[in-house]
Amino acid sequence: MKTISTAKSHDGVQGVYSHASEACAGDMTFAVFVPPQAKHGPCPVVWYLSGLTCTHQNVMDKGEYRRLAAELGLIIVCPDTSPRGENVPDEKDNWQFGCGAGFYLDATQEPFAKNYRMYSYIAEELPALIAREFPADMKRQAIFGHSMGGHGALTIALKHPDRFKSCSAFAPIVHPMVAGWSKPALEKYLGADETSWRAYDAVALIEGGKSFPEFLVDQGKADTFLDDGLRPWLLDDACKAAGIPLTLRMQEGYDHSYFFISTFMNDHLRWHAERLAK
């Protein structure tokens, strides 16, 4: 692991790091905020997964999480959304696919299968590095994210309910198999057989029997992607049918931006901290 930068913030440390990833076959960059409580022992870990076109930088600059994370004693890990580099296959004119749009899955189709393995990266490789390099209590982990990252958080939590004590999301893509801005990406990464897509779709996973103790979702009513890409009511229907408690808060006047995310960031951090303390 290489340190790109560190800065003191709220008596903790905001760092940016890189490492050679086997899962993604190239260098990956991520951000970690370590709170002041880490001086006295390991702290719980909260994973934040970013959305389409984003990197770790977006939430680091606009998410406004550090003050409360320092108060609550939470390590915040912010990975990138996809592999990047000159040799990584991409569609530069398509913001819904390729670099910046890894969809937190393991691609099986060429030429993407070598690099686009964000599920394995987030679920296995990066946690091992965090456990090794940071004062992290890996027995207390939570996960949340925005949009494509909300999709990633929900699916990863559903597949690892023993690992994560809580999961929440801002404006998640809840049913990417049928959403206009994600279905083409799933086909390019995973092939035409839609049965393989179900492993990376929160609604499909719940319908297939996967479960989680509870979810918190915030969604802006003024989000221009609400009807075509997000459709949180589909997650609500699936959770009700499966008996999974879901707190779905439709927020009047809020859009898809980090103005929305930063407004409700503290609510989510407090919600995770309560569950990580149990």
30: CATH? 3.40.50.1820
How much is the pTM?
0.97
Task: Measure Cα distances from 191 to 54, 152, 187, 209 in Å.
Answer: 25, 19, 5, 23
223 among known catalytic residues: yes
Domain count, the chain: 1
Q: Which one of the listed residues 56, 146, 175, 256 is annotated catalytic?
A: 256
**C-alpha dihedral over 83, 89, 91, 92, to 10 degrees?**
70
Domain of 198, in residue numbers: 2-276
Q: Which one of the listed residues 147, 166, 168, 182 is annotated catalytic?
A: 147
10 among known catalytic residues: no
256 among known catalytic residues: yes
pLDDT in tens, the chain (278 residues): 999 999 999 999 999 999 999 999 999 999 999 999 999 999 999 999 999 999 999 999 999 999 999 999 999 999 999 999 989 999 999 999 999 999 999 999 999 999 999 999 999 999 999 999 999 999 999 999 999 999 999 999 999 999 999 999 999 999 999 998 899 999 999 999 999 999 999 999 999 999 999 999 999 999 999 999 999 999 999 999 999 999 999 999 999 999 999 999 999 999 999 999 98
